Structure 1
Amino acid sequence: MSPTKQILEEMEALRAIRRDLHAHPELGFEEHRTASLIAEELSRLEIPHHVGIGRTGVVGVIEGRSNSLGRSVGLRADMDALPLQELTGLAHQSRCSGRMHACGHDGHVTMLLAAARYLQQTREFDGTVYLIFQPGEEGCGGGRAMVEDGLFERFPADRVYALHNWPGLPLGAVSIPSGPAMAATDRIRIRIRGHGGHGGVAPHRTVDPVLVAGHLIVAAHSIVSRNIDPLEAAAISLCAIQGGDLERGFAVIPEEVVIVGTARSLRPEVRDLIERRLHAVVQSIAESFGATATLEYERVFPATINSTEEARFANSVAAELFGADKIIAHPRPSLGGEDFAYMLQQRPGAYIHLGSGSDVGLHNPHFDFNDELIPIGGALLARLAERALPSS
């Protein structure tokens, strides 16, 4: 039976679920309504499930018609929204001020529920499928929380798969890199201390942290171009700066400036080099102006690394389901961050970019998940489970 065809027959109900989730977004580890909706749907489908995994996560368990070899596979979807004011103007736009599903996690949950419907009805596989609904992907480390809460001890999947809707790729296009799929994500916080004073009368008697910040920003952004092999993938972005009073401090040199940003990399050696060079740049530039500076370098998520065999397997399943022309021949990793990395540190698996055909990018206040992707992603997740656990 074609999972795509069966899921299409239930699109009205699935679309309603997706839009309900979109209208009621919840931030990381606050996904109580979302988790309840998932649990209610799993109960309706008579799928045993467990709640409170990694705080607000949910795991459903579907047994195949047989389990002769004790095999199992995990399928994961993230649940949380972003702290962003929605500007779509859609009928189902967020009803929660300052929160919206701008990354498509409402669609990811719906695609996994679509796969759950199909797998529970057909059960044409030999083994166990674990449906992993993960909280707190957006910078909260929900994947790590589930792993630390005994996810794989309680639900011992042999391998795990996840997918993410991907604007910029044609609808239904499948991109699955072997090796790094998403970047290690690090948080940068630089605090520069100087000596404030009058910007017109006596600037020479100050140690100007704004001036230091300017030189530091330029130098930090040269690390990738001058310290890292140009064939490596890496990024440093200092994204926000705060110092002084913008309304009344036009002639006041402040005592302190704070800069925040992010660093991204695919390989541990590059990550180590970025951190080492940033420490050196921050200290040396601050000292050259007579200021002091500290760098807080927080390693937020590791790189998301697809195992070679599972990436090859997922590509073959997608080609069987959608046709070889839908497979990106030379997939490229992204420098976005993804805490599915923690699950892939524990189990072999693959993270899949699934083209949404959207012109609006992720984390944009005008973003809305493309509902045409529901049967595509749901079918891919379901078929991954069936092919990973073939019936004899």
Structure 2
Amino acid sequence: MLLDHPVHRAWRQHLQTARTAADALLATWPDIERDTDLAQVLRTNTGALARQAEDALYRREAHAVLHRFGSSIGASGQVTTAVNQFQYLADTSRRRLGEDHIDTFVMRSNLASSWGQAGDPGAAVQAMVDLLPDEIRVLGKNHRETLMTRSNLAYWRGQAGDVAGAVQALTDLLPDRIRALGKNHPDTLDTRNSLAFWRGEVGDAAGAVQAFADLLTDRIRILGEDHPDTLVTRSNLASYTGEAGDTAGALQAFTDLLTYHIRVLGEDHPDTLITRNNLAVWQGKVGGVAEAAHALAQLVADRIRVLGEDHPDTLIAQDNLALWRGKAGDAPGAAQAYEHLLQARRRLIGEDHPSTLAAWGSSAHWRGQAGDVVGAVTYSKELLEHMVRVLGEDHPHLRIVRSNLDHWQKEAQRAQDAG
């Protein structure tokens, strides 16, 4: 006769209670986090559950609420916290499930993406490069997770500056996903979206517009008008409509898209805030410079409130606000804003990051436009020396920096001669 020891019974009850709580949290979690307060409550409760009942959440596999927990942290704008959380989840999954468990691979993939979202696409690329052969070895080259890593690797390669490499990787991936998943699978549609985007980034704006228009028709048919992926395609189509020369069309498309985003996602959703950013930029490009600056000032305040001062999207909005303030005639305000942005990017992502170098160049430009030509020369010299060290003497971006330095040196000489 087998006896059920009270300690064993209590432990089984503890595990079952924890799993039931995790199931309830996952069932409560909405696919689209319109209610930011509810999302915060769910994250807090999941974090507490994970600390108190880790054993229960790693029984043969990682409970799905752990993946949702980490993703929600990143989506809320807490990008540094998301990196730390996915590092912890990846380490815990290795320890409890093993190096070759699929959930360990998923956590490693999420960790890699969180590095990129926090502003380090190079680290994301390296992590994906390290992950891919492990997944091919264990899961096979046609497994959905392996194909997802190839897609993510292509994306972060593009973000790290290898746009041609991203296009080639996605061109190779698309037929593999069609063969493994079918042409109507959401992952296949995602590959078409990414391929159209990076083709546009290499200069084929007209081709991108056609590809996004075709994809939008398919996503509406397969996923519906309100699906987040459909809204992403609408956004990309709007952007490349403008890049192809139809600025008024881009402005109208983003105006329409904002209505969709507010209704489907809510006013504070990060994607809604992205659409507001894009709408403001196209307002400026069609001539509404003051309107663009005003809209971006409001957006910066909302992004700080929702995402925090250090979120990459907040910094992008500050960058755009500084630019359009300058274009509206406030060169001193633009110079001051870019100096603030430069210091923030140095602190958050380091002096060598492309976004930091861009802010450095903008700070030099607007110093000069504000009348501080000596400061513009100094900043341009320092930037050139730094970029030579980081990128090498022959990098194409150095031509622009050298040209800007030459311009401000001539302006400084003219000012000296006039004085």
TM-score (norm 2): 0.24
Greater RCO (Cα-Cα under 8 Å, separation 6 or more)? 1
TM-score by length of 1: 0.25
Q: Which has the higher helix share?
A: 2
The answer to which structure has the higher strand fraction is: 1
